[in-house]
Amino acid sequence: MIVPFLKKIVASEFLIKYFLILSLIFAFVIPEIVHIVTFFSEKYGLFINKYFNGFHMHFVLGFTGYFILGYYLNNIAISKKAERIIYALGVLGFAYTVLMSAIASLIKNEPFVFYGNNTVNVLFEVISVFVFFKLHYPKNKKLIKIFRVLSQYTFGAYLVHAVVIGSIHTFIINPLSFNPLFSVPLIAVITFIISFIISGILNHIPVLKKYIV
C-alpha cells in the first residue's frame, strides 16, 4: 500500500540514501543497542527503548528498509573493494550471531539469541548474500530460465512467507522440534515450496495480480 510513496523516494538518489540512513539508525542500530543493554540490565533497556519509541519513526521501520535497500543495491555499481568489504561484514555478522548467542546462553543458562530480522549482524549477512548472487549469478541457460520463471512469483512469496513460517511453527514443526541443524533447513524448504505455491495461485487471480503481487 505504501509502494506509490516509495517510488517517489527511490526516484531521488538523495532521498533513497536519506531513507536508508534513517532506517539503519532506527530499524537496526537502536534496536541492537536496546537488545544488548537489556541483556545486562532490563531496567535500562526498557528506558532506552521507551525514549526512542517517542520518535515514532514508523515509516522507516520493519521490512521497508530491506525493500528499499534491495532496490538500491540492485541499481548501483559495486566495486571489487566494496564487494570484499561486504563479504567481510557478512562473515563478521555470522560470527557475531553464533558467538554472542552462545556466550549469552551460557551466562543466562537458557537459550538466548542475538539474532532477528532487524539486527545489524543479520543485515550484514543479508547484504553479503544479496550482493554475491547479484554479481555471481549462474551462466547456465537452463538455470537462468528457471530463475526467470521463479522471479515472477518471488514478490508474492515474500508477502506470504511470514504467515507460512508462523503456521509451520504452530502446526507442523518449529526449530526446536529436533536438532536445529536439520529442522531449520527443513522449515526453510517447506516455507519456500508453500510460499511459491500460494504466490502462483495469487498470480493467477487477475485482480490480485494487478494490484497486489
Q: Is the pTM higher than 0.85?
A: no
| Distance set, CA 168 to CA 86, 159, 161 (Å) | 33, 16, 10
Tell me, what's the pLDDT at 4? 85
Average pLDDT over residues 110-126: 87
Tell me, what's the pLDDT at 75? 92
Read off the amino acid at residue 91: V
| Distance set, CA 176 to CA 113, 117, 118, 162, 169 (Å) | 13, 19, 22, 18, 10
- The total number of structural domains in the chain stands at 3
Residues 184 and 126 in one domain: no
Residues 124 and 96 in one domain: yes
Range of the domain at 51: 1-76
Residues 150 and 131 in one domain: no
Q: Which residue has the cell 547484504?
A: 127
Q: In whole angstroms, give the CA distance from residue 114 to residue 103.
A: 10
Q: Which of 53-67, 75-89, 193-207 has the lowest mean pLDDT?
A: 53-67
Residues 182 and 120 in one domain: no
Residues 146 and 209 in one domain: yes
More confident site: 87 or 177: 87
Boundary residue ending a domain (109, 136, 163): 136
Residues 161 and 109 in one domain: no
For the record, the C-alpha cell of 133 comes out as 548472487
Phi then psi for 57, rounded to 5 degrees? -90, 55
Residues 119 and 90 in one domain: yes
Mean pLDDT of the chain: 89
Residues 3 and 71 in one domain: yes
Tell me, what's the pLDDT at 19? 94
Tell me, what's the pLDDT at 145? 87
Residues 148 and 127 in one domain: no
DSSP class of residue 60?
Answer: G
Per-residue pLDDT at 81 exceeds 90 = yes
Residues 185 and 205 in one domain: yes
Residues 11 and 64 in one domain: yes
Residues 143 and 195 in one domain: yes
Where residue 33 falls among pLDDT bands split at 50, 70, 90?
A: confident
